[in-house]
Each structure stands twice: as structure tokens, then as C-alpha cells.
């Protein structure tokens, strides 16, 4: 006789709560939360309502890791289904059929919603996607717990791998229109997932070595997260003076020394360190404060190169490199140059635009810094908001193209959204640059004027990006 079965839902442990006086209110909070351990809180002078809410949110992330892992595996299943299934099914013969197929749904989810949303999230809120939702991060950490646990070799730690991989992926996806080709997308995203699995199996024990050292998008996400509003703030004196017995050490997936954490650059915002020694909490900050307050040893030529030549130059060149105007110019024969292959012409177009725009940006930064190389490197970080919102508006071009193919009129909305992104990014970048320049000796107004010229030129370039490429 066949017996039925019962679907058992996961049970979550109810945490003990204690009353905590916050201003004129009394709230019942988990007894192990950082706020509860502080006792009575003066909401007006000691901790604002926003700070209380953020700190509680960070503590919630720390306590609910089991629930977060279940959510992560749900994202893993959905992500790889939408990545693999459309590539195995018969491909649509033309774009008119794309919206009635699984491939079309996957394209809308991946490139119409997910990619623009992740870029904006990184710039505004930090790398929450990486620490809480990323399927590749979930898989590489899980495999690492059951893998060989080998020592991380020096070649894996080379800083250039993520930037090089990101550049290759950007050129590949735009040359082959991978956004519109499920099998090409499987090669790109699926290949990265296989590498993440291999990295997790061979290196580290229960860590995200892939996310820290090799993930292609980590190079750009690390730059964008420096300007984010949220961060996990470490109170070093409280950490060092924590009473005994000390709690167990933090299981930090990206292998950070949380005690010395000063930057959002590599923090995945997973929340596992929140409340540790009553010294770590999720907090808000002025967007761009980290960039302004960077120590001299934190300012790197590599990051300035990534901002000027990749985040600005290559990402802009990827949109324009295949445009008919650039390809026609190269095919018609520039002085001493004639390329008849459209594929090679597009690749060369991307490279030339990236080199020209990156060099132009670097030159104006050096002029604004009045020839002081270290100051120019620091000022390059101020371009991150404009470059990040420019990348976001570029990602939205595909969203608008999908809406246009569905029959919607998007010209006015596209111009409005692009204008808002460019204006917001320009103002944000100028505010950061102004704070940086105020700490210099010399002609401040000259430096601000040159930087404003650079912002105006880049903003104009972003605003007049042609969506013609997306119709190819």
C-alpha cells in the first residue's frame, strides 16, 4: 500500500529576546545582537534611527545564514536553468520570435534586468549581490568545503587577472552579440562558472578564492563599491578591548582581515562578521568618503588604469566599436590602414576608442593635478561615479532595445534615463573631486575647472551613445 508523504518546511530556531530602551521606545531585540549588548540607546544623540535599522539589518544577516544559504541555492537553480536550457533548445530563426521562447525570457532576465540592476546595486549599496545572491560564489564556496583545500599559489593572487578577464569577456560578448545568442552566452557565463568550480576545488577550504582573486567582474565591482553608501564599519579600539572569553573567529569568505577592514573594495557584504566583538556593524556613510580619505599607500596606478582605460574607455568602446560609422571609417581606409573584415574592424574599433578615451582622460587628470602624478592617480578615483552610471546606462541600452522590439516607444524614456544618469554621475564625481582637490596645495580652481571639462566631455559622450549597435 502506497503511503503518502508530508512536505516538511524548514524550522528556524526562535532566538531569545530582551527589552532594549531606544529613546522613548522599548523594543524587544535578539539578546545576541550588537544593539542589545549596548543596553539603553539614546536615539537622539548616540545612535540615529537609521543607524539602528542598519545595525539590526547587519545582525540579521549574521544570524540568518541558514536561511540565506537556502535563498542562494534557489538562485543557483534559477540561474543555471535560464543559462543552460535555452542553449539546448532549438534556436529562434529571427528576433520576432524571441519573446515567445525561453531564450527570450532568459535574455530579458539576464541582460534587461539582472545586469543593469547589479551594476547599480554595486555603486549604491556595495557588493551585497556577491555575498548574498551570486550563484558562482555559492558554488565555489560549497565546492571549496569539499575540495582539496590547497594553498593559494602566487600566480592566482596576481591583481591583473580579473581586469584582463573582464576585458576579454566584454570584447567577446559585444563582437558575437552574446546577449542575443544563448549558446554564446553559455560559453561566456558557463565558462566562468566552471572556472569558479575548479578554483574552489583546488584552492582554499570553505572560502571564495575565485571571488577574491579571479572573478572577471570583481575588478569593476571593487571600484564601484568604493563609492557605495553602505559598508561594514569596524571599531578597532572596541575590537582590541573586547572582554574575554572572545568569540570564535570570523568565517570571512573572501579571506579579509576584518579587524583591519577600512575599505569596501573586497568586502562581499555577506554580514557574517556583523556584531563580532561588538565592534563590527553595517553603517551608512557619505557616498565617496572612502575615495576622498584614501591613504597614500591605497592609491594605485593599476586602479587608475582600470578606471580610465577599461571602466570608461573599453566599456564605451564596446558600445561604439561595432557601430556602422566606426566600421565604415576603418573599412574605407584610414591613412595606412584598411580593414575589409567587419569582425576585425569592430575589434580594432573597440580598442582604438578605449585607447583614445582612456589616454584623453589620463592626460586631463594629469593637467588638473598640475603635473603631480600621485595627485592625478587619486583624482582618477573621482571618475568612478560617472563611469559607473555610464556603464549602467550602457547596460540599459539593451533593456530599451528589448522594449522597442516588443513595440514600445522608448526614445523619450531612454533620453530621460540617460540624461539623469549622466547628470547624477557628473555631479557625484565633481563633489568627490572637489573634496580631494581641497586637500592639495596649489590652484584649486584651476584643477576643478579642468576636471569639470573632462566631466563635460565624458558626459556628452555617454549621452549621445547611439543604440544603433543593438539593432545589428
- Whether residues 72 and 37 fall in one domain: no
- The β-bridge relationship of strands 17-22 and 230-234 is unpaired
pLDDT for position 95: 64
Q: Is residue 254 domain-resident? A: no
- Whether residues 464 and 315 fall in one domain: yes
Per the CB < 8 A criterion, the answer to whether 361 and 264 are in contact is no
- Whether residues 202 and 324 fall in one domain: no
Which grid cell sits at 429? Answer: 564625481
Q: Provide the domain count of the chain.
A: 3
Q: Is residue 244 domain-resident? A: no
Distance (Å, whole) CA 199 – CA 142: 11
- Whether residues 109 and 97 fall in one domain: yes
pLDDT for position 468: 46
Domain span including residue 47: 17-63
Distance (Å, whole) CA 216 – CA 194: 13
- Whether residues 37 and 85 fall in one domain: no
Phi and psi at 323, nearest 5°, equal: -65, 145
Distance (Å, whole) CA 273 – CA 142: 19
Distance (Å, whole) CA 328 – CA 126: 41
Determine the straight-line distance between the first and last CA of the chain, rounded to whole angstroms: 62
Tell which of 63, 84, 119 closes a domain.
63
Q: Is residue 236 domain-resident? A: no
Q: Which residues of the chain have pLDDT under 50?
A: 1-15, 23-24, 32, 39-46, 466-472
- Whether residues 105 and 214 fall in one domain: yes
- Whether residues 103 and 46 fall in one domain: no
- Whether residues 157 and 170 fall in one domain: yes
pLDDT for position 17: 53
- Whether residues 316 and 452 fall in one domain: yes
CB atoms within 10 A of CB 337: 13
Distance (Å, whole) CA 315 – CA 465: 12
pLDDT for position 30: 53
Distance (Å, whole) CA 339 – CA 175: 16
- What dihedral do alpha carbons 189, 193, 194, 196 form, nearest 10°? 140
Q: Is residue 310 domain-resident? A: yes
- Whether residues 49 and 121 fall in one domain: no
Cell 539603553, residue located:
40
- Whether residues 70 and 212 fall in one domain: yes
Q: Is residue 7 domain-resident? A: no
Q: Is residue 333 domain-resident? A: yes
pLDDT tens column, 140-171: 999 999 999 899 999 999 999 999 999 999 98
Q: Is residue 270 domain-resident? A: no
Which grid cell sits at 337? Answer: 590602414
pLDDT for position 37: 52
- Whether residues 208 and 109 fall in one domain: yes
b/e sequence 354-382, b meaning 16+ C-beta within 10 Å: beebbebbbebbbbbbeebeebbbbbbbb
Tell which of 224, 246, 266 closes a domain.
224
The model's pTM is 0.86
Q: Is residue 457 domain-resident? A: yes
Which grid cell sits at 200? Answer: 574552489
Strand, helix or coil at 372?
A: coil
Tell which of 205, 224, 243 closes a domain.
224
Amino acid at each position: 500500500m502506497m503511503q503518502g508523504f508530508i512536505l516538511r518546511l524548514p524550522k528556524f530556531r526562535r532566538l531569545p529576546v530582551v527589552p532594549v530602551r531606544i529613546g522613548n521606545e522599548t523594543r524587544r531585540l535578539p539578546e545576541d545582537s550588537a544593539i542589545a549588548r549596548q543596553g539603553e540607546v539614546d536615539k537622539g544623540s548616540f545612535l540615529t534611527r537609521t543607524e539602528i535599522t542598519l545595525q539590526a539589518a547587519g545582525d540579521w544577516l549574521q544570524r540568518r545564514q541558514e536561511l540565506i544559504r537556502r535563498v542562494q541555492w534557489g538562485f543557483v537553480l534559477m540561474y543555471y536553468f535560464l543559462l543552460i536550457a535555452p542553449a539546448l533548445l532549438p534556436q529562434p530563426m529571427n528576433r520576432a520570435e524571441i519573446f515567445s521562447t525561453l531564450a527570450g525570457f532568459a535574455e530579458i532576465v539576464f541582460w534587461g534586468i539582472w545586469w543593469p540592476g547589479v551594476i547599480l546595486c554595486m555603486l549604491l549599496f556595495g557588493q551585497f549581490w556577491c555575498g548574498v545572491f551570486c550563484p558562482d560564489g555559492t558554488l565555489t564556496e560549497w565546492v571549496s568545503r569539499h575540495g582539496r583545500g590547497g594553498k593559494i599559489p602566487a600566480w592566482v593572487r596576481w591583481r591583473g587577472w580579473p581586469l584582463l578577464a573582464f576585458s576579454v569577456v566584454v570584447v567577446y560578448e559585444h563582437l558575437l552579440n552574446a546577449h542575443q545568442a544563448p549558446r554564446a552566452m553559455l560559453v561566456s557565463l558557463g565558462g566562468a562558472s566552471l572556472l569558479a568550480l575548479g578554483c574552489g576545488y583546488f584552492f582554499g577550504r570553505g572560502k571564495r578564492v575565485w571571488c577574491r582573486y579571479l572573478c572577471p567582474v570583481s575588478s569593476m565591482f571593487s571600484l564601484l563599491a568604493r563609492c557605495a553608501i553602505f559598508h561594514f564599519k569596524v571599531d578597532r579600539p572596541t575590537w582590541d578591548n573586547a572582554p574575554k572569553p572572545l568569540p570564535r573567529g570570523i568565517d570571512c569568505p573572501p579571506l579579509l582581515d576584518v579587524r583591519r577592514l577600512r575599505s569596501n573594495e573586497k568586502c562581499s557584504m555577506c554580514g557574517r562578521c556583523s556584531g563580532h566583538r561588538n565592534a563590527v556593524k553595517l553603517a551608512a556613510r557619505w557616498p565617496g568618503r572612502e575615495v576622498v580619505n584614501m591613504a597614500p599607500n591605497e592609491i594605485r596606478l593599476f586602479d587608475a588604469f582600470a578606471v580610465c582605460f577599461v571602466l570608461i574607455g573599453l566599456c564605451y568602446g564596446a558600445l561604439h566599436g561595432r557601430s556602422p560609422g566606426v566600421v565604415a571609417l576603418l573599412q574605407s581606409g584610414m591613412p595606412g590602414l584598411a580593414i575589409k573584415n567587419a569582425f576585425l574592424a569592430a575589434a580594432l574599433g573597440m580598442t582604438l576608442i578605449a585607447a583614445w578615451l582612456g589616454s584623453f582622460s589620463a592626460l586631463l587628470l594629469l593637467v588638473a593635478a598640475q603635473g603631480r602624478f600621485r595627485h592625478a592617480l587619486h583624482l582618477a578615483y573621482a571618475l568612478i561615479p560617472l563611469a559607473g552610471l555610464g556603464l549602467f546606462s550602457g547596460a540599459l541600452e539593451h533593456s530599451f532595445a528589448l522594449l522597442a522590439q516588443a513595440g514600445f516607444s522608448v526614445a523619450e524614456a531612454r533620453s530621460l534615463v540617460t540624461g539623469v544618469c549622466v547628470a547624477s554621475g557628473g555631479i557625484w564625481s565633481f563633489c568627490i573631486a572637489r573634496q580631494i582637490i581641497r586637500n592639495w596645495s596649489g590652484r584649486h580652481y584651476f584643477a576643478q575647472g579642468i576636471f569639470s571639462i573632462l566631466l563635460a566631455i565624458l558626459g556628452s559622450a555617454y549621452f549621445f551613445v547611439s543604440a544603433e549597435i543593438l539593432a545589428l
